[in-house]
Amino acid sequence: MGNVTPTITDILHGEQENLARFRRALRRSDQVVLDDLIVAASKHRAASAYAGHLLPFETFLLSAWLEDHKLVMQQRDLVQEVKRLRAEVEALRRKLEERD
C-alpha cells in the first residue's frame, strides 16, 4: 500500500502517550491543568493540520496558548464591565444624595 501520513489527531494522541510519564510525575492538580491544555490543543486540530511549516508540538502549544488568551481577553472584558457598572452605581448614588 504506501506510506500513510498520520493525522493531526494521531500525532496529538502520540504526544499524549509521550507525555504520560511526565504527567504521572506531576501533582494531581497539575495533571488536571495539563489535561486541560491537551483538550485546548485538540480544539484546534483542523487548523493545526494546515500549519505544515511548524512542528506538531509547536501547533499544540500555540493552540493551548490561544485558548488561554481567549480566557484572558474574557477576563479583561469582565473587568471593564465591572468598572463601568461601578461608575454607573456611583453616578446613581450621587443623584440620590442630591435629591436628599
Q: Residue 56: what pLDDT?
A: 86
Average pLDDT of adjacent 10-residue blocks, the chain of 100 residues: 82 93 97 93 89 86 93 97 98 91
pLDDT of residue 78: 98
How high is the pLDDT of residue 1? 61
pLDDT at 14: 92
Q: Is the dihedral of CA 6, 9, 13, 19 positive or negative?
A: positive
Q: Burial letters for 8-44: b for 16+ Cβ neighbours within 10 Å, e otherwise?
A: beebbeeebeeeeeeeeeeeeeeeeeeeebbebbbeb
How far apart are the C-alpha atoms of 78 and 75, rounded to whole Å?
A: 5
